[in-house]
Structure 1
Amino acid sequence: MSPASNLFRAARPAFRARAFFRPKPQTGARFQSTAANGPASESWFKRMWDSPVGLKTVHFWAPCMKWALVLAGISDFARPAEKLSATQNGALTATGLIWTRWCLIIKPKNYFLAAVNFFLGMVGIVQVSRIALYHQKQKRLAAEANAEAVKQ
């Protein structure tokens, strides 16, 4: 028998006793009014500062910086489709859609990051669609040119 299995066998009763999962003792605080000293009396800045996804965390600043990718994608709407990269826009689309879902699963849920990723995915879908339509049009024009050459 391995030492690891002996360790797990020895620890099993502690987990079965649920010693680690005791409920927290109840206090009378949940019946008190929040008007006196509760979260409602705190300022917006104080609540945002102390929030798990607030101003002093990466959960706030990473989405702020990621909006630059969305704005860059929106500015690319003015560029011709032949100058856009299908690989790059496909990666941005996949990143946006995958991370949108992930932001709604993680704890704490980060709706700000989910929003920026959703818009990143939407911008990517628009750009990939433009690129696909451009390539489809080029194939159609090439086929028409070949048909015209065959006629002559």
Structure 2
Amino acid sequence: MSTIFRASRPAFRARTFFQQNASKTTRRFQSTESTTANAAPESWMQRFWKSEKGPKTVHFWAPMMKWGLVLVGVSDFARPAESLSLTQNAALTTTGIIWTRWCLIIKPKNYLLAAVNFFLGCVGVIQCSRIFMHHQAQKKLAEEVSEAKEAVKEAKDAIKHKSS
């Protein structure tokens, strides 16, 4: 039974036909001179286009699309704090902070994505702080209103006692 199984498997270090031929023809037709010395230097645009983080990859387009979230967050600075969502901005803040660190760990390191996530986290922190300050102001205002109502009630009671 084991011999049948072994016969159906390829050899342990077997190469395909194309790999065997490629290893035989390596540097066969190259001249002794370096071809890079004769070639014109590439422009920054050509290097960027061929880069592993260039516009032909998700490493470029993901940050470009994410800048939209940052711009929307910045445009929300003009909105009143009571119309902002704490859960949404907390999620954006958390996402920005976590992914900023992750972009510096993964390979290839994506500094463009790390930058957009950093700014997304910053915008989220600003918005969350605006929301918290608004809630604190509402609490303080509610306390002042309740104190004023108590003062008015005490004044009415004092007037009733004087008139009676």
How far has the Cα of 1:147 moved from its partner?
A: 1.0
Which amino acid counterpart does residue 47 of structure 2 have in structure 1? Answer: R
Q: Counterpart in 1 of 2:68?
A: 68
Deviations 1:21-54 (A, max 9, x none): xxxxxxxxxxxx9x8368x911112211221111
Change (3 A) 1:45 1:146: same
Q: How much has 1:62 moved relative to structure 2?
A: 0.6
- Structure 2 gaps of 5+ residues are 1-33, 153-164
**Structure number, greater radius of gyration:** 2
Which consecutive segments of 4 or more residues in structure 1 shift more than 4 A? none
Deviation at 1:134, TM superposition (A): 0.2
Q: Name the counterpart of 1:36.
A: 37
In the aligned structure 1, how far is the partner of 2:121 from the partner of 2:114? 10
Aligned to 1:127: 127
Distance 2:55 2:67 in 1: 16
Scaled by the length of structure 1, the TM-score of the pair is 0.73
Q: Distance in 1 between matches of 2:106 and 2:77?
A: 32
Equivalent residue, structure 2, for 1:100: 100
**Residue aligned with 1:92, SS:** helix
Q: Counterpart of 1:71 in structure 2: which amino acid?
A: L
SS at match of 1:60: helix
- Give the secondary-structure state (helix, strand or coil) at the position aligned to 2:132: helix
Deviations for 1:38-91, whole angstroms, at most 9, x for unmatched residues? 8x9111122112211111000000100100000000000000000000000000
Give the secondary-structure state (helix, strand or coil) at the position aligned to 1:36.
helix
Going from structure 1 to structure 2, the CA distance change for 1:70 and 1:147 (only over 3 Å counts) comes to same
Alignment of 1:56 with 2:81, yes or no, is no
Sequence identity (%): 68
Question: What TM-score comes out, normalization by structure 2 length?
Answer: 0.68
| Alignment-mate amino acid for residue 149 of structure 1 | K
| Corresponding residue SS for 1:135 | helix
Structure 1 residue runs of 5 or longer lacking an equivalent are 1-32
CA–CA distance in structure 1, aligned partners of residues 63 and 38 of structure 2: 32
Q: How large is the RMSD of aligned CA atoms in angstroms? A: 1.8
Q: How many residues align?
A: 118
